[in-house]
Amino acid sequence: ASTLGASAAEKGRYFGTAVAANHLGESPYVSTLNTEFNSVTPENEMKWDALEKSRNSFSYGPADQIVSHAQSRNMKVRGHTLVWHSQLPSWVGSLNATELRSAMNNHITQVMQHYRGKIHSWDVVNEAFQDGSSGARRSSPFQDKLGNGFIEEAFRTARAADPAAKLCYNDYNTDGQNAKSNAVYNMVKDFKQRGVPIDCVGFQSHFNSASPVPGDYQANLKRFADLGVDVQITELDIEGSGSSQADSYSRAVNACLAVTRCTGITVWGITDKYSWRASGTPLLFDGNYNKKPAYHSVLAALGGS
């Protein structure tokens, strides 16, 4: 096939991108989105500060805009993200443990019921582990007040709110085998053993020269898949340019394709001009929506041309 989405579909996968609602009025942005991608992740619009800025008052405007666009074009939607320490309104941090537990469960339930049937996978919990060698949980209002059990509780609440959605744990610096990914692995293994509902693990995959595509990326995806969960590449972007960037991208795509349970790849934006890496060029289309060498290498890796 001649596009990323259609080529991925021929391999039984989706190929998605992060989307920002405020760019949906820009015609080359929308035409590139519509032509190339068959899944979207709202880049910021489904985060807690966007959906529930004050307690129990929900506003879905920009997130709904993305979901409607996706539905009208038959694209899948990844929900990002229900429980995360960042982009969290300050009121959440000032609750006591009892209030926080109820606010967390209410947030998950309200948001997932609003989108029930429209989201194929939800990042239920995002970035709950620390970087470095400790394998410990990251400090957050959830961790600090509710303890380790908050992740399990979030997943159980999520399953009840939308039983058809795949429930994912999502993190970064877990792409290769290291202390952080080992800690996530042990959590997922424990969840599967105890019947805690988890369906998928997201590997953000933000790569640069200090943190390149790991040599054991495929092996790491595979060991998680072997626990009985799907794996997804959820926020792929790779700093660089030209053929070295293109090579890195094809290695990343090939790693997913080599793992049966790697169900899809999402890049973290369409064009370099709107990347969260302000000064970088980590995406597949340049600032003028021209296809970069990285685009062509991804398309080729997916079997397209």
Q: Least distance (Å) from ligand G3I to the CB of residue 79? A: 12
Of 202, 199, 181, nearest in space to 266 by CA: 202
Q: Least distance (Å) from ligand G3I to the CB of residue 200? A: 16
Q: Kindly provide the b/e burial profile for residues 166-187, where b requires at least 16 CB atoms within 10 angstroms of the residue's own CB.
A: bbbbbbbbbbbbbbbbbbbbeb
The verdict on 209 binding ligand G3I (CB under 6 A) reads no
- Assign 39 to helix, strand or coil: strand
The verdict on 235 binding ligand G3I (CB under 6 A) reads yes
- List 2, 86, 148, 186, residue binding ligand G3I (CB under 6 A): 86
Q: Least distance (Å) from ligand G3I to the CB of residue 260? A: 26
Q: Using the 8-state DSSP alphabet, how is residue 49 labeled?
A: H
Q: Which residues are catalytic?
A: 235
The verdict on 171 binding ligand G3I (CB under 6 A) reads no
Please count the residues of this chain forming the interface with ligand G3I, following the rule CB under 6 A: 8
Q: Which of 156/273 has CB closer to ligand G3I?
A: 273
Bridge partners of 237? Answer: 206
Q: Which of 62/304 has CB closer to ligand G3I?
A: 62
The verdict on 204 binding ligand G3I (CB under 6 A) reads yes
The region, left, alpha or beta by phi > 0 then psi within -120 to 50, assigned to residue 288 is alpha
Which residue has the closest beta carbon to ligand G3I?
A: 276
Q: Least distance (Å) from ligand G3I to the CB of residue 90? A: 15
Bridge partners of 267? Answer: 17, 236
Of 59, 64, 74, 53, nearest in space to 24 by CA: 64
Residue 139 contacts residue 128 (beta carbons within 8 Å): no
Crossing angle, helix 179-194 and helix 217-225, to 10 degrees? 10
The verdict on 237 binding ligand G3I (CB under 6 A) reads no
- Cβ count within 10 A of residue 254: 16
Residues 241-300 that bind ligand G3I (CB under 6 A): 276
Q: Least distance (Å) from ligand G3I to the CB of residue 18? A: 6
H or E, element range at 185: helix 179-194
Q: Least distance (Å) from ligand G3I to the CB of residue 263? A: 19
The verdict on 121 binding ligand G3I (CB under 6 A) reads no
Q: Which of 52/235 has CB closer to ligand G3I?
A: 235
Crossing angle, helix 242-257 and helix 293-301, to 10 degrees? 20
Q: Which of 204/245 has CB closer to ligand G3I?
A: 204
Per-residue x/- track, 30-69, ligand G3I (CB under 6 A): -------------xx-------------------------
- Cβ count within 10 A of residue 79: 26
Binding site for ligand G3I (CB under 6 A): 43-44, 86-87, 172, 204, 235, 276
